[in-house]
Amino acid sequence: MKKGVLLNSEISKVIAEMGHTDMLAIADSGLPIPVNVKRIDIALTRGIPSLVDTLKVVLSELYVEEVILAEEIISENTKLYNQLNKLLEPISIRLLSHKELKKQLMCCKAVIRTGEQTPYANIILKSGVVF
């Protein structure tokens, strides 16, 4: 049995295969996921698991050099935006319109769909290198 924090085999596999600048998204339950992008659906029920809980586990395994958020999160989901800022410090945060963020999904290795149900609760993680 795996000893680390991350037990989900699909997420572990995607992270293990990522290289520098590859991207992985963590999404709320309503984000449209492009058909040609791997969907890892871990949504169980409303709010479970949350985006923040999922992100914490992914960050325990993946070295991230930059994240992308929708700029609308600042005004439409301030509480989550503040949580993410604190959790991600000192990782660089790039803001795009929600429309542009959805276009970036086409470049992601996978999208993890959570049970999150708050506005603009989507994040794209850009892999860094540990050396």
Q: Mark the binding-site residues, compressed into ranges.
A: 28, 98, 120-122
Please give the annotated binding residues for substrate, written as ranges. 28, 98, 120-122
Burial group, residue 55, by CB count within 10 angstroms (0-12, 13-18, 19+):
buried
**Residue 47 φ/ψ region, left for φ over 0, alpha for ψ in the -120 to 50 degree band, beta for the rest:** left
119 tagged catalytic: no
From 5, 7, 20, 60, the catalytic residue: 20
Q: Tokens 């429309």 sit at which residue?
A: 99
Known catalytic residues are 20
